[in-house]
Amino acid sequence: MPLNEIYNIVYESIDQFNEINERNLEKSPDTVLFGAGGHLESIELVTLIIEIEDNIDDQLDHCISIVSEKAMSQSVSPFQTIETLVNYIQLIITEGDN
């Protein structure tokens, strides 16, 4: 799965997230999502993750769970930045492991 395809879906999800929540989360790999210096509250992170999971399901026909034990046990949290999130999504899609 090419990374840019996942970036497109994540950015599309951020557009939807920004619109629904009247936010202005920046679409850049370095944007800090969650944790120290993060732009999102936990409930906002959940909202964004749900948008992304649904868009991946719609566009790539992959029914994935981004939040999992595996996600929690990564040495770098997948939820740190947009880049870490995209890399993690690519990993679980490739492994078909959810």
Partner 1 sequence: MIILITGSSRGIGRYLAEHYLSQGHIVFGCSRSTINNYHKNYSHTPLDVADEKAVKKLFSSIRKKHHKLDVLINNAGIASMNHLLLTPVKTLEKIMQTNFTGTFLFCREAAKLMKKANTGRIVNFTTVAKPLNLEGEAIYAASKAAVESLTKISAKEFAPLGITVNAIGPTPIDTDLIKNVPEMKMQQLIAKQAIAKKGSFEDVSNVIDFYIKPQSQFITGQILYLGGI
**Chain contacts with partner 1 (rule: CB under 8 A):** 43, 47, 50, 53-54, 57-58, 63, 65, 98
* Nearer to partner 1 among residue 48 and residue 81 (C-beta): 48
DSSP annotation of 28 reads: S
Find the shortest distance in angstroms from Cβ 98 to partner 1. 8
Q: Estimate to the nearest angstrom the gap between the alpha carbon of 38 and the chain centroid.
A: 14
CB of 36 to partner 1, least distance (A): 24
- Residue 40 beta carbon to partner 1: minimum distance, rounded to whole angstroms: 15
Contacts made by residues 3-7, CB under 8 angstroms, sequence distance 24+: 3/86, 3/87, 3/90, 5/60, 6/56, 6/86, 6/89, 6/90, 6/93, 7/82, 7/86
Supply the minimum distance, in Å, between the C-beta of residue 4 and partner 1. Answer: 24
Tokens of 45: 């992170």
Residue 81 phi/psi, 5-degree rounding, is -135, 170
Of 55 and 87, the one with the shorter C-beta distance to partner 1 is: 55
Nearer to partner 1, 47 or 80 (CB): 47
